Protein backbone atom coordinates (compact mmCIF):
# COMPACT_ATOMS: atom_id res chain seq x y z
CA UNK A 1 0.00 0.00 0.00
CA UNK A 2 1.15 3.56 -0.54
CA UNK A 3 2.09 5.91 2.27
CA UNK A 4 -1.29 7.69 2.15
CA UNK A 5 -3.12 4.43 2.79
CA UNK A 6 -0.69 3.56 5.59
CA UNK A 7 -1.32 7.00 7.08
CA UNK A 8 -5.08 6.46 7.07
CA UNK A 9 -4.84 3.00 8.61
CA UNK A 10 -2.34 4.02 11.28
CA UNK A 11 -3.96 7.42 11.94
CA UNK A 12 -0.60 9.14 11.52
CA UNK A 13 0.37 12.01 9.23
CA UNK A 14 2.38 11.07 6.14
CA UNK A 15 5.20 13.33 7.32
CA UNK A 16 5.39 11.44 10.63
CA UNK A 17 5.54 8.09 8.84
CA UNK A 18 8.41 9.37 6.70
CA UNK A 19 10.20 10.52 9.84
CA UNK A 20 9.69 7.17 11.58
CA UNK A 21 11.01 5.40 8.47
CA UNK A 22 14.02 7.72 8.30
CA UNK A 23 14.97 6.99 11.93
CA UNK A 24 14.34 3.26 11.58
CA UNK A 25 11.21 2.79 13.68
CA UNK A 26 9.38 1.34 10.69
CA UNK A 27 10.63 -0.08 7.42
CA UNK A 28 9.09 0.62 4.09
CA UNK A 29 8.28 -2.51 2.09
CA UNK A 30 9.69 -1.01 -1.06
CA UNK A 31 9.31 1.73 -3.60
CA UNK A 32 7.06 2.10 -6.60
CA UNK A 33 8.51 2.60 -10.07
CA UNK A 34 8.09 6.32 -9.51
CA UNK A 35 9.91 6.21 -6.15
CA UNK A 36 7.00 6.37 -3.74
CA UNK A 37 7.34 4.44 -0.48
CA UNK A 38 5.16 1.38 0.06
CA UNK A 39 4.20 -0.37 3.29
CA UNK A 40 2.64 -3.70 4.19
CA UNK A 41 0.22 -4.65 6.98
CA UNK A 42 3.11 -5.54 9.31
CA UNK A 43 4.50 -2.02 8.91
CA UNK A 44 1.06 -0.53 9.59
CA UNK A 45 0.73 -2.59 12.79
CA UNK A 46 4.14 -1.33 13.83
CA UNK A 47 3.09 2.26 13.07
CA UNK A 48 -0.02 1.81 15.21
CA UNK A 49 2.15 0.44 18.03
CA UNK A 50 4.46 3.47 17.74
CA UNK A 51 1.50 5.88 17.69
CA UNK A 52 -0.01 4.33 20.79
CA UNK A 53 3.32 4.30 22.60
CA UNK A 54 3.81 7.96 21.83
CA UNK A 55 0.24 8.75 22.93
CA UNK A 56 1.01 7.08 26.26
CA UNK A 57 4.00 9.37 26.67
CA UNK A 58 6.83 7.07 25.71
CA UNK A 59 9.79 8.84 24.11
CA UNK A 60 11.13 7.79 20.72
CA UNK A 61 14.00 5.92 22.39
CA UNK A 62 11.64 4.20 24.83
CA UNK A 63 9.35 3.26 21.94
CA UNK A 64 12.34 1.89 20.05
CA UNK A 65 13.29 -0.18 23.09
CA UNK A 66 9.74 -1.52 23.37
CA UNK A 67 9.72 -2.39 19.67
CA UNK A 68 13.02 -4.24 20.04
CA UNK A 69 11.64 -6.26 22.94
CA UNK A 70 8.35 -6.80 21.10
CA UNK A 71 10.16 -8.05 17.99
CA UNK A 72 12.50 -10.33 19.94
CA UNK A 73 10.83 -13.72 20.27
CA UNK A 74 13.35 -14.66 22.98
CA UNK A 75 12.47 -11.63 25.05
CA UNK A 76 11.71 -11.97 28.69
CA UNK A 77 8.29 -10.80 29.76
CA UNK A 78 10.08 -9.51 32.86
CA UNK A 79 11.94 -7.00 30.67
CA UNK A 80 8.73 -5.65 29.20
CA UNK A 81 7.15 -5.55 32.65
CA UNK A 82 10.15 -3.66 34.07
CA UNK A 83 9.90 -1.00 31.37
CA UNK A 84 6.16 -0.65 31.93
CA UNK A 85 6.61 -0.40 35.70
CA UNK A 86 9.26 2.29 35.29
CA UNK A 87 6.96 4.29 33.01
CA UNK A 88 4.06 3.84 35.44
CA UNK A 89 6.19 5.26 38.25
CA UNK A 90 7.10 8.24 36.05
CA UNK A 91 3.41 8.84 35.30
CA UNK A 92 2.46 8.65 38.98
CA UNK A 93 5.21 11.13 39.85
CA UNK A 94 4.00 13.48 37.12
CA UNK A 95 0.41 13.18 38.41
CA UNK A 96 1.53 14.22 41.90
CA UNK A 97 3.41 17.20 40.48
CA UNK A 98 0.39 18.22 38.42
CA UNK A 99 -1.90 17.93 41.44
CA UNK A 100 0.39 20.26 43.42
CA UNK A 101 0.36 22.73 40.52
CA UNK A 102 -3.44 22.46 40.24
CA UNK A 103 -3.84 23.29 43.95
CA UNK A 104 -1.48 26.25 43.68
CA UNK A 105 -3.34 27.61 40.66
CA UNK A 106 -6.68 27.05 42.38
CA UNK A 107 -5.48 29.01 45.42
CA UNK A 108 -4.27 31.79 43.14
CA UNK A 109 -7.63 32.02 41.40
CA UNK A 110 -9.56 32.04 44.68
CA UNK A 111 -7.43 34.71 46.36
SS3 5: helix
SS3 63: helix
Q: Which residues of the chain have pLDDT under 50?
A: none
CA 103 to chain centre: 31
CA distances from 43 to 2, 34, 68, 73, 97 (A): 11, 21, 14, 17, 37
The DSSP code for 56 is: T
Would you state the pLDDT for residue 77? 75
Would you state the pLDDT for residue 88? 85
Would you state the pLDDT for residue 55? 92
Amino acid sequence: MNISDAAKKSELPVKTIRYYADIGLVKETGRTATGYRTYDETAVKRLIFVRRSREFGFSISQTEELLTLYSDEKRSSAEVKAIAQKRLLEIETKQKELEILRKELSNLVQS
